[in-house]
Structure 1
Amino acid sequence: MHTERSETARIDSAADQATLVAGRCDVLALVTSTCPWSPAAVAGASLASRWGSNLTGCFLEPSARMLHDADHEPTVLGLLEKPPAHDADAHAAFGAFARQSGVHEATWAVSHTGLARTLKHLGAWHDLAVIERDMVETSGLLDILGEAILGSQLPCLILPPRWNRELSFEHVVIGCNGSIESIRAIHAALPFLRMAKHVTLVDGDVRSSNDADSCLPHFDPFVYLLRHRITAKPQYIRASSDLAGDILLKKARNAQVDLLVMGAYSRSPARERVFGGATRRVLEEADIPVLMQH
């Protein structure tokens, strides 16, 4: 009995700490269906309830989901469509859904433009976006969804296709290579890490005296996490970007991981954003939620 009480107290304490870290943050769920509520809506409401956060549900019209950032208007055919989000009761329905999920402050919105513009705009006053990976067609996964993630610089929780499970964060794996993107992702993941029983940090940081950033203060992810009372189990790798993605995916599958945390890396020609190898591989193949930030 004492063990059960201690374990319950530990879990309650972790939940309280997660709420404290998250504070009154703003969670954005990009909704793809209203009846039933899509996975992003359910996951966003779950997180907002746990953290005592504000929740925004934004329905992105189907005709606009494949638009690039440079494309401002949906097609004429798309304008003629009347998705369920236009129902007069949609706002009230979302409010009722949020209250039933334990969320006290909820807002409903509809976007008539592309994913990248929508996320960049809403990201200005939100702390986390919950996105269904299959909200865009496979052909647009890297350029459209990638453009949105990289352009917004907002922490994004990417749900795998056909996600229908309850969110769990018992075991979290962090991929860190010392880049500014991975450091931002670790910082953004603190509320999730507070809820985890096990945290594994896969460290691929390779630094030398010739590095351009060697004159800057060094970020030690293990020390940083310890300061937040999070003890991470270390694993060290030395691999190319493409292989690093495979290693993270293999680790996640073999260890029954609930969440993967990593930076969203890009190779950016003059006017085009392109995902780096590890980010591309994980985004394409992960079958668990992934928290990414550029």
Structure 2
Amino acid sequence: MTFRTLLTVTGPNQGEGDLKLAADLCEQIGAHLSVLVLELAAPPSGGEYAAVVSPAWLEERQAELKRLEKRISDVAGFLSQSAVSADLSDDYPDTGWADDVIGRRARYADLTILGPDLLASHTLKDKVIQGVLFSSGKPMLLVPEGSRPTLKPKRILVAWDARLESSRAVRESLNMLRGADDVRLVIVDPIEDEFHHGEEPGADAAAYLARHGVKVTVDRLPSSNHSVADVLRQHADDVAAELMVMGAYGHSRFRERIFGGITKSMLDDHSLPILMAR
């Protein structure tokens, strides 16, 4: 896919770092920047009746709305000085509905950027991840602190497990894969049967990519008593990958929350930009 619109989400307690990051990525590929400013509404204590009569709760909501207004003004000022085309929207949802609001907005972008400021805001980070992955049908790019993100990477690692989610991640990143000098299709502990990786693990996926002009190499790796996430992280470091592409939540969110999983591990600990799709 060619990215024409990039979305970034920001809150009242964030600075300009993520905005500048998203604007720079837009400038790099000639894309439009869409910014969503959110203030998450504090839930009422003691039920709906208490919410109506509680002066403290009403004061808190007024303070939240003032923070939202100030943030909107600050972001508008930043965008007015930016060279990229941009639009600005805002919302004040209850925390429980924030992921739906974000997901609906993300449907009108090709890619949502999660920069270091957002990733450090745990509540908003979780809402953006859930909204994009489960309510938009679009991919997201996680950019950790200290990394050098680019939408024109030369070395890409694709975490391939033959699931639907991996296939979607590859499809969404196809334009970047085509432009890279070195794409590593990585399979950890491949299973050789028709329901998993086939008789020659990675061959079908590599052939598909090659027909799109992707310079692809298949790396089949043993886990050797390490987690799959650790193997992927180490291999990305070994091949100096600038970007990792992977499917997200091949298992349910509940199962990953209780038992852990590759997606959760990567969300919690990653040192290079990761494009995720579901």
| Same fold per superposition (TM over 0.5) | yes
1:208 counterpart residue number: 193
1:107 counterpart residue number: 87
- Residue deviations 1:37-81, cap 9 Å, x none? 222x233223322332222011222x4599xxxxxxxx7525513
Q: Does 1:22 align with 2:2?
A: yes
Count of paired positions? 250
Q: CA deviation at 1:117?
A: 1.9
Ranges in structure 2 where 5+ consecutive residues have no aligned partner: 44-56
2:72 pairs with 43, 61, 86, which one? 86
**CA distance 1:228–1:151, change in 2 (3 Å):** same
> What is the percent sequence identity of the aligned residues?
24
Q: CA deviation at 1:288?
A: 1.2
The code of the aligned residue for 1:44 comes to A
Q: In 2, Cα distance between the equivalents of 1:139 and 1:92? A: 26
Q: In 1, Cα distance between the equivalents of 2:223 and 2:77? A: 51
1:1-294 equivalences in 2 (<5 Å): 22=2, 25-32=4-11, 36-39=15-18, 41-61=19-39, 63=40, 77=60, 79-81=62-64, 82-83=66-67, 84-87=70-73, 90-97=75-82, 99=83, 103=84, 105-113=85-93, 114=95, 115-132=98-115, 135=118, 144=127, 146-152=129-135, 153-160=137-144, 162-163=145-146, 165=148, 167=150, 169-204=153-188, 205-206=190-191, 208-209=193-194, 211=195, 220-237=204-221, 239=223, 243-268=227-252, 272=254, 274=256, 277-294=261-278
Q: In 1, Cα distance between the equivalents of 2:131 and 2:248? A: 11
Secondary structure at 1:262 match in 2? strand
Secondary structure at 2:107 match in 1? helix
**CA distance 1:181–1:285, change in 2 (3 Å):** same
**Bigger radius of gyration among the two:** 2
Q: CA deviation at 1:278?
A: 1.0
Question: Residue 242 of structure 1 contacts residue 278 of structure 1 at CA under 8 Å; is this kept in 2?
Answer: no
Question: Residue 143 of structure 2 contacts residue 149 of structure 2 at CA under 8 Å; is this kept in 1?
Answer: no
Ranges in structure 1 where 5+ consecutive residues have no aligned partner: 1-20, 67-74
1:14 counterpart residue number: none
Question: Residue 222 of structure 1 contacts residue 231 of structure 1 at CA under 8 Å; is this kept in 2?
Answer: no
* Cα RMSD after superposing both structures: 3.6
